[in-house]
A and B are shown apart, each in its own frame.
Chain A
């Protein structure tokens, strides 16, 4: 039998509607889980990728080291609480925590975000995603959600550890918790708000380029350069317009949101205190920046070539 004959026979036997395209491969007959399951799977896998789970050890090292660095202040407090049976030893407080680890946060976003969104652009797998049940909006949404959740490892986890450390340091664990119940809402609030703010900016920058190293440089510069510029402008230039620079620096916005939610005041030498705006303006500006970055991210994925 020649190949032509075999081909014609094949066309005759198969279903008429699909006769041209049917190459005889086995079909998927199982249940199709649909769009929501696809989004959930993308979210789950992206979150695993953020910590390097299911990847080689070299993908795990960066996030792991940075998470450890971010935990160090809380661990020290925990150690003090466990060893010294004295009340009120405050190594670090909840409202200063993010301010002390802001450098580590910038590096963490710089390491994780390009890994989440850059890999698919580099491997040209966006085409494959968008031909399935998932839409462009779903993809961007799942990636941003995964990045925000990954941020909780260096925002919420250290804060909760610090709360436990303080509770252990006090005489009565239960009394401490009931007395400090009002701290719980700001802890969760700042963790979620801060994670979203930093994640949206980081993911937006990382989505612009498939080249990982450039994305990392871009993210770190985007967080640290405005911080330095705002510090110089507010400290050195005594004009009211220069004080507005604090609203352009994401890390200063995060500090402002944190002090606002904990209802405490920043130290007088703090840039936010020197700029002199009421703290709720920082919170509002943070919301605007996060919403803007999220919108731009969705727009980027609505237009990206795939």
Chain B
């Protein structure tokens, strides 16, 4: 049943207009990279600096969370909003399987957009350079990052009816705004985990990445967050009373 539910969700969310908008958002870094490649004659490590800038300050903290937010709050949230979740939960099916299916579907969609962004922009700028090893590092790290974001936003959409606003506050106020003033925020910020993991996976010296999380804490915190988020979502859905809402 898991692949079936995941497939239905993929089609249902993937066809919406927001998916087009998100793909356009993911193409922005690719377009800028193309402009860079076509117009600039880089000297020394200009390539690395530009690519780090695009990947670590544009794709990971902006494209990734926004994509995950719009997708993560709708894979299960839309069913709850429209009342169709009752048909899903009325089936003789363990509820944790529903969560797993929804998370997989959201993760696939998010990762597709982010992958396009990373491979496109990184590949264009770093093609034929030694520093190309940055790209697979970010590809792997953002797989973890998108999973963590999706889990968090699915849990939010189960708990709150206005999950999009709350998720937006988390992404822009907590991760983006407060992180500038309070360095401790990085211990509870998925984008900081993602950058930390990417930094740990590559030998390329990324100059603007001082003060990021080290590899080990980043990956441990990410795993803990995914585990806690999944556990919370399963618990919330298990206790979900169909009769109350319909």
Contacts and interface: CB of A to CB of B under 8 A. Distances in A.
Contacts of A236: 36, 40, 46, 50, 53
A104 interface: yes
Interface string A211-235: 0111011001100110011001100
Interface stretch (B106-114, B145-153, B172-180, B197-205): B172-180
Interface string A235-273: 011110010000000000000000000000000000000
B173 A229 contact: no
Query: For chain A, what secondary structure do more than half of its interface residues adopt (helix, strand, loop), or is it mixed?
Result: helix
A213 B163 CA distance: 9
A229 B32 contact: yes
A236 B54 CA distance: 11
Given A107-B173, A232-B32, A236-B40, A216 B165 contact: yes
Contacts of B50: 232, 236
A286 to B, nearest CB: 23
Contact of A104 (B25, B162, B177): B177
Contacts of B62: 224-225, 228
A103 B176 contact: yes
Contacts of A216: 164-165, 168
B222 to A, nearest CB: 25
A233 B58 CA distance: 13
Instruction: Please classify how large the interface on chain B is, using the bins under 10, 10 to 19, 20 to 34, 35 or more.
Output: 20 to 34
A225 B70 CA distance: 16
A213 B168 contact: yes
Given A232-B58, A233-B32, A242 B172 contact: no
Contacts of B173: 107
A221 B66 contact: yes
A236 B168 CA distance: 29
A233 B164 contact: no
A237 B28 contact: no
Interface string B27-68: 010001001100110000010001001100110001000100
B58 A220 contact: no
B36 A217 contact: no
Interface-centre pick from A220, A236, A239 (highest chain B CB count, 10 A):
A236
Contacts of A238: 39-40
B164 A217 contact: yes
A237 B39 contact: yes
28 contacts: A103-B172, A103-B177, A104-B177, A107-B172, A107-B173, A107-B177, A213-B162, A213-B164, A213-B165, A213-B168, A216-B168, A217-B70, A217-B164, A220-B172, A221-B25, A225-B25, A225-B62, A228-B62, A229-B32, A232-B53, A232-B54, A232-B58, A233-B35, A236-B46, A237-B35, A237-B36, A242-B35, A242-B39
Interface of A: 103-104, 107, 110, 212-214, 216-217, 220-221, 224-225, 228-229, 232-233, 236-239, 242
